[in-house]
Structure 1
């Protein structure tokens, strides 16, 4: 097509034409429904973005040929859709080919937007930054430009500094909102505005509501950056998130000063527009000072929330407790069940409760959650308790006292589980499978984890935790230190998995609640506490530890969290009773502590990296020590593993999530069967460098569960997989390059569950698939191009197939032979909303 015909109007017309055709064909060509709906979603979300870019290219005098390739792709898609509409047969080779072609053209359009347009955008951004650098050099005479020239490319991620919509009641905030908005919109030269109040008073809710205000959005538009800072702040991480939010390449910084210099350059380039930086939950006044630049930007405002008053920045705004009217509204909403049928509400008792809560929003919500759905007797009992002087507040830690009352309502076992959540950093998602591993060993929870899930639901119903379902890969891409108050979860459902698979299930706790947990755990001397939770900032160890006291610690659970600046070696620690070790890290290199070698009762090791890049782990050798022969479970997340060259004889389960495993698995002298000879469960999830299963895996005949999911480079399974004679579960979900199931899979006579969902490259099941006579559950959603062999009629124990609508039709002819078979059609969940904020 000639370049001069490719303009914004023409491109829009092509989009409209193809989009209408795809929409009309979804109902006409139902056998291609999944592929057509995904193509429709792709077209819908890129239309406006492409039109805007075309217009900008015209203004920047960019060659129109840059969008020619997209026009060709759209015309190809149009031709394919016409062919699909004419396809009459339900089962044919041509149908499979067309379905594959639809997938390919859809991926080509996405690739164009994520690669070609990204290259164009990067070029434009670099030209802009180059001009800004020149201007600043001239103005300042300063040749140092931070880390602009030292960059690494990462996958584009969407809006890590966005403000989420508020879904909760916010009574009592109208007056402070109006006052704060007036000051924020003033052009009086005041750069920093501080909102201060005790924890749980509603500071974050107020500023989120402010950011959603129409007048504020009209002034600052796309330049509102919301960052949750928390106690352990990281200047470089904050700057990275802002760069990510503006869809710029993320610099590599060596110092905080370099990071601030680069941020100054970035904001200077958009100085013509108003800029609002929201720093939420700030603990350090000096941190705010760092974001006040040497070159004053006239339209730049910093809005800060903190538990402290920062006198350096003026009187600020102190958020007051809620008045009685607002408190009653919030309390009433908190005690109202989800079905909105309030079984009991006594106005007189409610007023007494309001006096106890003293206008604290968090206290009102926690107490409301405690009494939600409870009968009158429970309300009266609590009020009498407080009337007798049993206060939920303690001296100046009133809010902690309030939260303590919610813990008292838990039965002892659930309370113990809740206190274990303090082992993980504040404002971070906690994998439910991690908690299952811990609790199965600490409290002997039932094997399938249902007991652990039940406990989490009890905590969730008490408003002590939030449960949600999300893709862990997207969580990391979103931004690696993000508080999930900026959630972009795929779902907030609380439904537990009905087949024991919880890899996308998470739980979150509030930072203040974590303080309560630590307060509760540390109420006893260090030597006698049940769980020892240690937060190390920099290289500052707790005094009792750095003084090298030799008294042994009797805790069953040991948690150590270190930050980005941790470089120190480890002091010795005598903890012979420890059964679970949780290591939370943020550095790119990390040495496992030697003192763990003396933990004779150690059963579970959990290592989670919350940093920007995978952490390289070292000192694995002690894991093979005979002194820790009770070690049963290892979970590693977002780390790089150099080697497993040790034998952990009694290990039953190992989980590798978002890890670099290629180097460890490809070592010629390494066989995983030598390292873990008695393994029962092996999980690998989102390990992008996994190309083949580790050598010797199929020699671990004890293995019962094998889960290799979201490993997109895995293309084949070994023929000797038949050696896994005791295997009961095989999960291969979303291994998109896996081309086939080898025929030897049919020799797994004890296999009860097989999951090949979203294995898009598998076109057929093995001919002798019916030999899997123990198979009870088959998950094959997104496998509409996968042909079923006639041998499936021999799967007499098969009682559940989970699949999409197209695959369900494939099973219809066989249902009369399989009397117990239920085919569960899972609705298409094509959701590209998380991509809509991508930059193209």
Structure 2
């Protein structure tokens, strides 16, 4: 059959067969209905062009040029036939064939947007030569057909009509109209994750009466996608501006110059150019089409964020709008069925306000019996994602990952976000710890990957407190990450495609004592995962059972109880390098079995959140590999008490300690000063801390000392002068500090000093001895003090702009 088709079958005939088959299948095969309708829409839109090209090819004896399209159509017919045979319960094959159908759709679109346009451009050249030869201005004969010169410019620049009913976009529409009215803004980007409604929003905008009038109806729309064709865009635009002529240019630059010239001379410089679905690697297209004209605007939609342009980030729908859209998709106008409200709310809520998900899931349940609705709700109650039961939605969201570079490991970084609980603000510092050991990424590489994922709208970066300098100094305590719940579920789904014993990362969410089937002592499966994440709810009894996970390198444990017991199977995790222990409850949790940590001889990093930390100096074990401890919102009054062993014996290689928002820290114990190998000590937002120990001068290898927002800290100890290697000192917002000790002048290697919010702190004359100090960041009053000394010409005193926001409150929510 394939040979026959490729050998001479008319492209119009086989195309018609495929279109008929797809339309019929979309009516009868419910499990692929959404994908098949999308494919049918694509085929219907290009059917007139196919017929025109077929007649043209017959006249010119060039049917061989559509051979590739015939082959694609043949494969498509076979694929549709296979889809019709798949049973509804086979979700694995369903997901596989949804991808295949989406791939077929893209292949057809690519042929029509690139290959076909290439053939037409060549034919255009030949026709122009023929026009000149015949001297005809109206038309010319080509074989058995009569063609106008303008017919060769295939395609429309008109914006497609939006859906009949658009829900929840009134505010975004108003914001975009305001942005379009601003002078000096030439490019506006609408950015958001896949399925957030960017294209629908822009289509609605293009049909807005006021927008049309503003641009004198000069609104031109192009779907760019992954493989833009600038030549086609230029020819269509030039043809619209001068329908009497056939666009012709020698090069891309020549075409751009012609377009700009026509915009200037034809009084069409009032124009809106819409570039829909611009992929991250195609931003140069926008640059090329930018012209410095007063009323010429480019509106871009993209899953990526292009930071140098004015960008509007499209948010998920709120509950009221989401319910309205879901109802319109899930219920027919005269539907008399009574689906219980709690079931509707459960299913609607699983879509997390994503318009695509609301429509796709709603349509999949439209007309279905109550039993199907009830089954969907039960699956959600068991923790199964909506993605497990909706292959169309899954395939669409998975396309958001197509641009991730697997070689750089950025996709692995994305998949790791599933390791943290839903709606949890993920600390950037925790991810840096994980990726340093899993992928050997340094801090800069980790932050670069976070920004790449943010640019693609796969995550949202949340800066709790803006400080332009802190990032320069590798301080990321105020940087957090949020993620849309469906994108988190996509990461978990992707991580769970392999059999459990072969997965690189395993995410387990325990409700009560309901363990997954593979978690049983009888089966004793040995897991090969490098990352293991376990979350429990408030009813979990901590009867862990036993699993074998000897290759785990990162363990994330998340509790919601006042007391918790570490699992005994941790003892066998000989390769564990990073432990992140979090408590999502209100108060710090009491941890038993804490001594298990001392059996983890390869452990390099520990991060504890909302945990009551026992004395770290009472153990007879040594953690020789431990490099970093982070304690966030913990009770740590007992942690650094002097015990039976010196802290430096227990942690001989500990180089970094972070203590943040620990409210019970009143004074720092002398035991901590035994850690003479420390290079970084960060004690921030500990508002009850009143004094540092005199022994702090023993930390002679210390490079960085941060004491930010320790509001009751009154002074620094005199031994501070012994910190001969200190290069950075941060006492910002230490509001009670009135005097700085004279020994500060002995910090001969100090290069940067932060002291904003310390306007009441008097500087001693010895600061003139700080000859290597390059930068001081302080408030205006303190700046006057520094200027009055004025002995160091290389010193730069910076007064940052005050940043007032309440983002920090989210840390406690």
- Give TM-score scaled by structure 1 length: 0.52
Alpha-carbon separation, structure 2, partners of 1:568 and 1:595 = 12
Q: Give the match for residue 346 of structure 2.
A: none
Q: Are the structure 2 counterparts of residues 785 and 793 from structure 1 closer, same or farther at C-alpha, using a change threshold of 3 Å? A: same
1:81-129 CA distance string (max 9 Å, x none): xxxxxxxxxxxxxxxxxxxxxxxxxxxxxxxxxxxxxxxxxxxxxxxxx
Q: CA deviation at 1:509?
A: 1.1
Q: Which residue of 2 aligns with 1:616?
A: 590
Query: Aligned match of 1:401 in 395, 403, 414?
Result: 395
Query: Using a 3 Å threshold, how does the CA distance of structure 1 residues 495 and 742 change in structure 2: closer, same or farther?
Result: closer
Structure exhibiting the larger radius of gyration computed from Cα positions: 2
Structure 2 counterparts to residues 619-698 of structure 1, below 5 A: 619-625=593-599, 628-644=600-616, 645-646=618-619, 647-666=622-641, 669=644, 672-698=647-673
Query: Displacement, 1:791?
Result: 1.5
Q: 1:523 aligns with which of 466, 475, 497?
A: 497
> Do the aligned residues in 2 keep the contact of 1:332 with 1:368 (CA within 8 Å)?
no
Secondary structure in structure 2 of the residue aligned to 1:581? strand
Q: CA deviation at 1:557?
A: 0.7
Structure 1 runs (4+) greater than 4 angstroms displaced:
171-177, 205-209, 320-327, 329-333, 348-353, 364-372, 376-379, 493-496, 666-671, 830-835
1:409, distance to aligned residue in structure 2 (A) = 0.7
Question: Is 1:579 equivalent to 2:573 in the alignment?
Answer: no
Larger deviation, residues 431-440 vs 550-559: 550-559
Aligned partners of 1:365 and 1:508: how far apart in 2? 28
Alignment of 1:101-500 (within 5 A): 326=201, 328-329=203-204, 347=222, 349=224, 370=280, 373=283, 375=285, 396-412=390-406, 413-446=409-442, 449-470=443-464, 497-500=471-474
1:399-418, CA deviations, whole angstroms, 9 ceiling, x for partnerless residues?
22222222121112111111
Residues of 2 paired with 1:430 and 1:351: CA distance?
Answer: 31
Is the 2:542–2:565 Cα contact (8 Å) retained in structure 1?
Answer: no
**Is the alpha carbon distance of 1:368 and 1:565 closer, same or farther for their aligned partners in structure 2, counting shifts above 3 Å?**
farther
Shift of 1:548: 3.8
Q: Contact (CA 8 Å) 2:719, 2:743: kept in 1 or not?
A: no
Alpha-carbon distance change, 519 to 394 in structure 1, aligned in 2, over 3 angstroms: closer
For residue 562 of structure 1, report the CA deviation from its aligned partner: 1.1
8 Å CA contact 1:369–1:463 kept in 2: the answer is no
8 Å CA contact 2:609–2:632 kept in 1: the answer is: yes
Question: Match of 2:143?
Answer: none
Specify the SS of the correspondent of 1:468: strand
Distance 1:349 1:367 in 2: 6
CA distance in 2, matches of 1:544, 1:329: 50
Q: Pick 1 or 2: higher relative contact order, CA cutoff 8 A, min separation 6.
A: 1
Relative distance call for 1:468 and 1:329 in structure 2 (3 A) is: farther
- 1:783 and 1:332, CA in 2 relative to 1: closer, same or farther beyond 3 A? farther
Aligned residue number for residue 593 of structure 1: 567
Contact 1:670–1:695 under 8 Å retained in 2 = no
Q: Against the structure 1 CA distance between its residues 513 and 834, is the aligned structure 2 distance closer, same or farther, given a 3 Å change threshold? A: closer
Q: Which moved more, 1:557-566 or 1:456-465?
A: 557-566
SS in 1 for 2:734: coil
State the alpha-carbon separation in 1 of the partners of residues 542 and 458 from structure 2. Answer: 35
* 1:801-820 alignment, distance < 5 Å: 801-815=776-790, 817-820=791-794
- Unaligned 5+ runs, structure 1: 1-170, 178-204, 210-319, 334-343, 354-363, 383-392, 471-489, 836-840
Do 1:366 and 1:463's aligned partners in 2 also have CA atoms closer than 8 Å?
no
CA drift at 1:834: 8.8
In the alignment, what sits opposite 1:730? 705
Query: Are 2:720 and 2:743, in contact at CA under 8 Å, matched by a contact in 1?
Result: no
CA distance in 2, matches of 1:591, 1:777: 43
Counterpart of 2:535 in structure 1 is: 561
For the residues of structure 1 that align with 2:432 and 2:388, how far apart are their CA atoms? 34
CA distance in 1, matches of 2:561, 2:808: 28
Distance in 1 of aligned mates of 2:563 and 2:556? 17
Cα distance in 1 for residues equivalent to 2:732 and 2:784: 16
Cα shift at 1:469: 1.2
What SS is found at the alignment partner of 1:543? coil
1:445-491 deviations in Å (ceiling 9; x for gaps): 22xx1111110000000010000112xxxxxxxxxxxxxxxxxxx66
Runs of 5+ in structure 2 lacking a partner?
A: 1-160, 173-194, 209-218, 229-273, 289-299, 304-386
CA contact under 8 A between 1:705 and 1:729: conserved in structure 2? yes
Are the counterparts in 1 of residues 640 and 671 from structure 2 also a CA contact under 8 Å? Answer: no
Equivalence for 1:570? 544
Question: How far apart in 1 are the matches of 2:539 and 2:170?
Answer: 30
Evaluate the alpha carbon distance shift between residue 587 and residue 827 of structure 1 in structure 2; reply closer, same or farther with a 3 A threshold: same
Match of 1:550 in 2: 524
Q: Which residue of 1 aligns with 2:375?
A: none
For 2:682, the equivalent position in structure 1 comes to 707
1:453–1:496: 8 Å Cα contact kept in structure 2?
A: no
Matches within 5 A, 1:769-784: 769-784=744-759
For residues 201 and 630 of structure 2, the distance between their equivalents in structure 1, rounded to whole angstroms, comes to 48
- Map of 2:44 onto structure 1: none
* 3-state SS of paired residue (1:404): helix
Which stretch has the larger CA shift, 724-733 or 494-503?
494-503
- Counterpart position of 1:721: 696
The RMSD of aligned alpha carbons is 3.8
**In 1, distance between residues paired with 2:729 and 2:581?**
29
Residue 613 of structure 1 deviates from its aligned partner by: 2.1
* In structure 1, C-alpha distance between the alignment counterparts of 2:719 and 2:488, rounded to whole Å: 50
Once the 2 structures are TM-superposed, how far is the Cα of residue 710 of structure 1 from its aligned partner? 1.1
